[in-house]
Amino acid sequence: MNGYLVADSFVSIAAASGLLVLIAALRRRHPGEGLVVRLSFGLGVLAVMLASRVLVWWGARFPFNTLTLTAAGLVPLAALLFCEGLLRRHAPKAFKWVATAGALVFAILAWLPTSWAYPWRTIALLVFQLAGFLAMAWLLLARDRTSLSALENRSADRIALSLLLILPLLATDFRFPGFPIPVRLAGIAILAFCWLAQGLGRGQRAHRDSVRAFVAYCASALAAGGAVVLIAGLDATTSIQVLAVCCAAVLLGAIVNDAFELRAEEQRRGMLRLLAQGDLADADAFLGGLRRHAQIDGLLILREAELGDFDRTVLEDVFARHPLLRSGQVGTPEFDEGTREQLDSLMQRYGASHLMRVSIRPLTLAALNMPVLADAPIAQAELAAVQRMAQLVAERRRQLDPAEGT
């Protein structure tokens, strides 16, 4: 099988997959937001272009050749719309006119037979796309930084870095007679853009850390590819193709992994949403939101009837000192043997990894099972905040209705 075809197809499919992962992540985190709509449009145009050209390479020339060229002509306009939204400023009118006119011209030229239009149409498209990306990078780098927040400035820097990375690699996507380029590399730049853009969902990650991680991923991929080249004794052309495939695979894996981690973080933030949006009518209603948390495997409210078999004095003393008690704390020397037996029995009876105090009078506990995050410091802090809020809600309810505290 043709090595050029396999390498080009793999890199393009990997880039299209990375774009789809990023679009899904953006729409899930920010549904309906204007900037996300603009970015999704641009990413969708790129995904269509990449997927349709792979179909052309594998023999389905019509209508996918026309679709590929039309989408390619739309790329600078899509990038311009996104940059305007990111900067919250209008681009110069000359940029808008050129991007719009170019998209219309190439939508018409896409219908010309290749035998008539090659190679001048390909050269014109290359110049148009290079000029468009260069103009957008300049627009981002020359912005008024004081008009944007720190996070917005970091976002603009990452996007500009991605556009500048695309420029040298974009030229490899255009092949001309006498210049046999081993593999089209624009897909690598697109994957880098997807990874950097997806990293914006992690506000705690510094820009420098993102660049270092990107360099580490690329270095790992090149090292692995280099080992394959040495083992197989490949020629120069095949070696470049192998290195490109390794880079595309590693970057796509990083994008998918980050998407999974971001989704897990969003699910874990359910406790924070509970604090912000929980039902404050009473403690039972408030803790009901905790039952729907992704990492909580069951939650029970334990009142005097459920605690009747245990020494109330011991429980009151323990939970006065530890409003939130983990199973791992029970075995510490802080508790005597009798107290440990009671706490172990209570946790085993209700299958609990945590016990939290809901109210003091009457003594009410909540038993929940959260084994996956039992030792996560952040989760413990969030759960402690939930416990304190639940106790405040219960005390407020008791003050409004003193009969409930008797």
pLDDT winner (highest mean) among 68-82, 132-146, 347-361: 68-82
Query: Do 142 and 157 share a domain, yes or no?
Result: yes
Mean pLDDT for the stretch of residues 54-74: 93
Query: Do 340 and 374 share a domain, yes or no?
Result: yes
Cα separation, 97 vs 61, in Å, equals 31
- At residue 233, does pLDDT exceed 90? yes
32 Cβ contact partners less than 8 Å away, ≥ 6 residues apart: none
Q: What is the pLDDT of residue 400?
A: 65
Query: Do 11 and 122 share a domain, yes or no?
Result: yes
Query: Do 262 and 398 share a domain, yes or no?
Result: no
Pick from 325, 370, 360: nearest CA to 344: 325
Pick from 334, 319, 335: nearest CA to 387: 319
More confident residue, 88 or 12: 12
Cα separation, 389 vs 399, in Å, equals 15
pLDDT winner (highest mean) among 142-156, 164-178, 179-193, 363-377: 179-193
Query: Do 96 and 35 share a domain, yes or no?
Result: yes
CATH number (domain holding residue 219): 1.20.1070
Mean pLDDT for the stretch of residues 87-96: 90
Average pLDDT of the residues of the chain = 84
- Are 405 and 361 in contact by the 8 Å Cβ rule? The answer is yes
Query: Do 314 and 357 share a domain, yes or no?
Result: yes
Min mean pLDDT across 6-20, 198-212, 227-241, 313-327 is at 198-212
- At residue 15, does pLDDT exceed 80? yes
Query: Do 395 and 368 share a domain, yes or no?
Result: yes
Mean pLDDT for the stretch of residues 253-258: 90
Q: Are strands 299-302 and 364-368 parallel, antiparallel or unpaired?
A: antiparallel
- Overall domain count for the chain: 2
Range of the domain at 225: 3-267
Q: What is the pLDDT of residue 206?
A: 57
Domain stops at, among 221, 237, 267: 267
Cis peptide before 362 (omega within 30 of 0): yes
- At residue 209, does pLDDT exceed 60? yes
Query: Do 296 and 375 share a domain, yes or no?
Result: yes
Return the C-alpha torsion angle 241, 244, 249, 251, nearest 10. Answer: 180
Query: Do 262 and 295 share a domain, yes or no?
Result: no
Domain stops at, among 267, 286, 317: 267
Q: What is the pLDDT of residue 124?
A: 94
Q: What is the pLDDT of residue 42?
A: 92
- At residue 263, does pLDDT exceed 80? no
Cα separation, 226 vs 243, in Å, equals 7
Query: Do 324 and 195 share a domain, yes or no?
Result: no
Residue pLDDT, tens place only, 309-353: 888 888 988 998 989 888 888 888 888 888 999 899 998 888 888
Cα separation, 337 vs 28, in Å, equals 50
Mean pLDDT for the stretch of residues 47-66: 93
- Could you tell me what percent of the chain has a pLDDT over 90? 35
Q: Which amino acid is at 389?
A: M
Domain stops at, among 235, 252, 267: 267
- At residue 253, does pLDDT exceed 90? yes
Query: Do 376 and 253 share a domain, yes or no?
Result: no
- At residue 64, does pLDDT exceed 90? yes
Phi, psi values for residue 40, rounded to 5°: -65, -35
244 Cβ contact partners less than 8 Å away, ≥ 6 residues apart: 7, 11, 182, 183, 185, 188
Query: Do 252 and 302 share a domain, yes or no?
Result: no
